[in-house]
Structure 1
């Protein structure tokens, strides 16, 4: 993805932050509950690419130590209004935390990482986890990178390609499932849901 394409994706979230954050959004309840069941009470959670902060709020309501971050400063401000606390503005390629989190929730966020940069980003994410910590992420499935009708970039991986990328980034345990669903664009979508664990 070129710098221009990166800017186009960020420009969408800048120009539509309030609308995007205020939309009616059905939370992924089953996956959220499964994620939280794997955590100890008060565990440190990173909501990576938190968007409008909807899921961060759920984690906070369940007593977790939540760090919320997003690459869009405008979305981060919307999330701050929802959760009542500071939201970090951090691009995936700038992650520098080390062994800080027990779990990372990346709901429909890493799908914007350029294919050529995804392995490096996944390596950075793995290092932010404590030994034995785990990541839950979701991607829009496909065969080649592209853009949606809003001009947003997506990496659109296949399950095989994505699994190989995780392995290349040093994740020893990776489970990928798929399911039909939708998204902000209202289009039918095949989703890949990834659960990956850092070595203990």
Structure 2
């Protein structure tokens, strides 16, 4: 994520964002499924970790967690969790091969440019171990636009997301959909897909 305005919004509202997401992730069945799908003591990347609630849950379950976010203020919050290794890193700075048993990209890649998604997803696939588990959640739609508080979003259709994953080498499995209120106070439809590397 390189859009300066989006980064600024998250920096300014990091505490409010934490209060919005922490309670939701504590009881998230998709996060529970993701954790149980990984081998005991396995390695996980929380991509766009925000305040670190998901990373903390993974670490508490015994996973070795690497959390990244492009917003330094979010890394400060994520680093409060003692078992989480958190660092400032953008989507295009993910590299390496065969490192992770799982990658959790929960409503983070929706801030990536549409034309960058194929390259990012391919790099994530490469960074994962064979048969690793990938979780991705995005908002549904077809446009690219800013929300009411200035964050840049790339909306995707289910067909587009499935194609992006397939082209990057993933095999798509479970699907979840829903509609929730975001930090900007508006409701949006979303889709989450579980995929194997």
How far apart are the structure 2 equivalents of 1:85 and 1:196? 24
Aligned length in residues: 194
User: Residue 148 of structure 1 contacts residue 154 of structure 1 at CA under 8 Å; is this kept in 2?
Assistant: yes
- More strand by proportion, 1 or 2? 2
Correspondence for 1:14 among 11, 24, 33: 11
1:112/1:83 CA distance change after superposition, 3 Å: farther
Counterpart contact for 1:134–1:196, Cα < 8 Å: yes
Q: SS at 2:159's partner residue? A: helix
The yes-or-no answer on 1:99 pairing with 2:98 is yes
Determine helix, strand or coil for the equivalent of 1:139.
Answer: strand
CA-atom RMSD in angstroms: 1.8
Runs (5+) with no aligned partner, structure 1: none
Contact 1:21/1:79 (8 A) holds in 2? no
| Contact residue 65 and residue 83 of structure 2 kept, 8 A | no
Partner Cα distance (2:82, 2:114) in 1: 31
Q: Give me the whole-angstrom Cα distance separating, in 2, the residues matched to 1:85 and 1:65.
A: 8
Long gaps (5+) in structure 2: none
Q: TM-score, normalised by structure 2?
A: 0.91
Pairwise mapping of residues 1-200 of structure 1 onto structure 2 (< 5 A)?
A: 6-23=3-20, 25-27=23-25, 29-83=28-82, 85-171=84-170, 173-175=171-173, 176-198=175-197
8 Å CA contact 1:135, 1:195 repeated in 2: yes
TM-score (norm 1): 0.89
Deviation at 1:96, TM superposition (A): 0.9
For residues 156-199 of structure 1, give each alpha carbon's deviation from its aligned partner in whole angstroms, at most 9, with x where no partner exists. 1011111122222232x12444222232223222111011111x
Distance, in Å, in 2 between the alignment partners of 1:102 and 1:85 is: 16
Q: Is the 8 A contact 1:95 1:124 kept in 2?
A: yes
> Does structure 1 conserve the Cα–Cα contact (< 8 Å) formed by 2:59 and 2:65?
yes
Give the match's secondary structure for 1:184: coil
